[in-house]
Amino acid sequence: MITKKSISETLSGVKYLPNRTPASGFNGETSGVFALVSTCRDGAIYMGHYSGSSEWERHQNGDELVLAIEGSTTVVLLVQGAEQRVHLVTGEFVVVPAGTWHRFEESISLKVMSVTPTPTDHSLDRPDA
């Protein structure tokens, strides 16, 4: 069955995390901050709401679409050993290529939607790749 989803209703059901740190995902602080909206291809669509920075992550099996619904963030991508920064504000998005390590920094009241392939690798430390 095909069902429609509401961005505002989905985001109203998530908890706002005002001080996300790279360790937040490892110590349980992000519980309730992200909502699984739907499965999609070989992954899922997620929405979340937070300020702060995330750990490094990558998705080996496909590109990830990241859309800033509201607020702002800087997506840091590790490309050939160098950090490339892409600043996003409300209504902007970036496609993170498959296998590219990336993280979010300086997020300010970010309401974000991502179309994320699985699985996801995570690292607190900056990867060498």
For residue 54, the cross-strand partners are: none
Instruction: Give 129's pLDDT tier (boundaries 50, 70, 90).
Output: low
Q: Which domain holds residue 66?
A: 7-118
What CATH number has the domain bearing residue 45? Answer: 2.60.120.10
pLDDT of residue 80: 93
pLDDT band at 2 (very low <50, low <70, confident <90, very high): confident
Domain count, the chain: 1
Asked if residue 124 belongs to a domain, the reply is no
- Mean pLDDT across the chain, nearest whole number? 96
- Computed on alpha carbons and rounded to an integer, the radius of gyration of the chain in Å comes to 14
* Domain-located, residue 125: no
In a domain, 128, yes or no: no
Give a yes or no: residue 123 inside a domain. no
Q: Is the peptide bond before 119 cis (omega within 30 degrees of 0)?
A: yes
The amino acid at residue 22 is P
Is 75 within the bounds of a domain?
A: yes
In a domain, 27, yes or no: yes
Condensed to tens digits (0 to 9), the pLDDT of residues 57-111 reads 999 999 999 999 999 999 999 999 999 999 999 999 999 999 999 999 999 999 9
